[in-house]
Amino acid sequence: MAPALLGMGNPLLDIMATVGQETLEKYDIQMNNAVLAEEKHMPLYGELAEKEDVKYIAGGATQNSIRVAQWMLQEPGQTAYMGCVGEDEYAKKMRDVCKVDGVDARYMVDKKTPTGTCAVAIKDSERSLIANLSAANNYKVDHLKEKENMAVLEGAKVVYSAGFFITVSPESIALASSKDSIYCLNLSAPFIMQVPPFKACLVNTLPHVDYLFGNESEAMTFAETEGWDTTDIAFIATRLSLIPSARQEFGRRHRTVVITQGCEETIVARNGHVRRFPIIKLEREMLVDTNGAGDAYVGGFLAALVKGGDIGECCKAGAYAASVIVQHSGCTYPKAPEYKW
């Protein structure tokens, strides 16, 4: 049986550690942000690796969401994931994690380039991500077109990519979003909207997106780059939902836009209507770090979507998954969820 959920993205091994203000200033790091690594960031990876509390976790935004969805579903083989890795120990670590989790990892292997890494700088329960894509940057649509992988794509009920994948393989996004599967995309980070080629790909893809995810800062950045002159999240979500859909041939006329707002309620817009759904509020002392919280929300949401849940059930599952991940270090979780479907 083909996996019900396919993720396509940038597999990265997270190198995560706690930092002080001096590190943030040294590398010009902003909290609650995600950027692609520049030359100035390269020494940071070594510095984090030398920290006493350093952790190595299979990461990358899409891979996080797929692992969480698999955890929520608790049925091995319900999910698959594609992306590019090197032929090295980091790739082996990620394969091992996916195998234990029950995710069918279908990595493309670039033997000449090391597996990508993501520096995760933690301060006061908040995080900043600096991604060094390396091999992840070399994914090619030819891998997706291989017979066995196309069978996974065409058999999937839901397909998901974080917006970061736009920087790597627009061709793969175009192919995946042309199929009958429910296609889901995430805005992911402000720079996706601020860099013209990435924004162009996003705009071209939006008509083919059934579910669009993002957080409040990403939504406001989209509005700013469109010249909408508003910071009203509900208004922005509504306008995003009303961009004409190209999914009529599959019987889907309306896009659902899901904007999370940290500890505030989630805003969902569809066909001009806005609904608000609660998150699970935790006492501050229960928070370990927010790394992966947004990815986890999407993972829980997608798990419910695969099971045929309505928007309320999807948001409830997303809120639960996020509430668990923020109580753990990185995108990790207990053996089994306590969530009741």
**Annotation marks residue 295 as catalytic:** yes
What pLDDT sits at residue 195? 96
pTM: 0.91
Walk along the chain (341 residues) and give the pLDDT tens digit of each residue.
789 999 999 999 989 899 999 999 999 999 888 889 999 999 999 999 999 999 888 889 999 999 999 999 999 889 999 999 999 989 998 999 899 999 999 999 999 999 999 999 988 878 889 999 999 999 999 999 999 999 999 999 999 999 999 999 999 999 999 999 999 999 999 999 999 999 999 999 999 999 999 999 999 999 999 999 999 999 999 999 999 999 998 888 899 999 999 889 999 999 989 999 999 988 777 776 566 789 999 999 999 999 999 999 999 999 999 999 888 866 778 888 999 88
Dihedral sign computed on CA atoms, order 176, 180, 184, 187: positive
How far is 78 from 80, CA to CA, in rounded Å?
Answer: 7
Q: Which tokens belong to 339?
A: 């969530």
List the domain boundaries for the chain: 5-11+60-114+134-325
Residues 6+ apart with CB under 8 A from 9: 60, 61, 62, 63, 81, 82, 83, 161, 162, 164, 165
Q: Is 291 left (phi over 0), alpha (psi -120 to 50) or beta?
A: beta
Nearest 5°: the CA angle 161, 163, 165 is 70
Please name which of 272, 268, 274, 245 lies closest in space to residue 314, comparing C-alpha atoms: 268
What pLDDT sits at residue 20? 94
Q: Which CATH architecture describes the domain 5-11+60-114+134-325?
A: 3-Layer(aba) Sandwich (3.40)
Of 96, 104, 295, 310, the active-site residue reads 295
Name the phi and psi angles at 231, rounded to 5: -120, 15
